[in-house]
Structure 1
Amino acid sequence: MGERLGWLSPLGDFYETDWGKHGEEAECILQKIGLYASFSKQTVLNAGDYLSGRGYLLLHNPSRKKLMITHLCPLSDKQRDFLYGYFYDLGEKAEAEKYLD
């Protein structure tokens, strides 16, 4: 398994997206989960910030050199489990172990 980028929900659902497309995918997720109407009524946050404030985290690689995890809320157990498996499958066992309880 290679590096996969996208959004991870607090329930452990992963929404994979192409590099540089996480903003568009955030809007799609908001539509899928029924929050797009409330998001579109506010003018301060972009779709990614709105998702992040609801516990989603972003796996991204802005420089294409190092994978990053961006989150505003504490990680859920399901997110920790996903990240452990994600990094373990990439062969990054030390990084994976950071997500053990």
Structure 2
Amino acid sequence: MEERLGWLSPLGDFYETDWGKHGEEAESILQEIGLYSSFSGQTVLGAGDYLSGRGYLLLHNPSKKQLMVTHLCPLSQKQKEFLYGYFYDLGRKTEAEKYLN
């Protein structure tokens, strides 16, 4: 399995995105879930931070050297299950086991 980047919802829905495009994808997700108008009405947070504050996590590789899982809220059970399978399929079993209960 190849490394996939993107946003993971608290319900376990994965929104894959290209490297460096997570901000644009965050705006698309906010539109899809009906929160874009409340996001655009504030000026403090970027789309990614706004989405993260609603329980989404970001799988990204900012330096193209190390995959990172970034989240502001506690992980949901669905997110833990996704991450376990994700890292297990990448052959990173030790990292996968961090997401077991």
Q: TM-score range by the shorter chain?
A: over 0.9
1:1-101 → structure 2 map (5 Å cutoff): 1-101=1-101
Q: Give 1:19's aligned amino acid.
A: W
DSSP 3-state at the match of 1:45: coil
Q: Which runs of 4+ in 1 moved over 6 A?
A: none
Q: Over the residues paired in the alignment, what is the CA RMSD in angstroms?
A: 0.3
State how far apart, in whole Å, the 2-side matches of 1:73 and 1:36 are.
Answer: 20
Instruction: Please state how far the C-alpha of 1:76 moved relative to its aligned partner.
Output: 0.2
Write the deviation string for residues 20-40 of structure 1: whole angstroms up to 9, x where unpaired: 000000000000000000000
TM-score, structure 2 as length reference: 0.99
Would you say how many aligned residue pairs link Structure 1 and Structure 2? Answer: 101
Secondary structure of 1:43's match?
coil
Q: TM-score, normalised by structure 1?
A: 0.99
Tell me how far 1:49 sits from its aligned partner: 0.2
Counterparts of 1:22 and 1:12, CA distance in 2: 17
Shift of 1:88: 0.3
Gaps of 5+ in 1: none
| Residue 81 (structure 1) shift | 0.1
Q: Identity percentage over the alignment? A: 85
Return the alpha-carbon distance in structure 1 between the equivalents of residues 43 and 20 of structure 2: 22
What amino acid is the match of 2:63? S
1:11-55 deviation per Cα after TM superposition (whole angstroms, max 9, x unaligned): 000000000000000000000000000000000000000000000
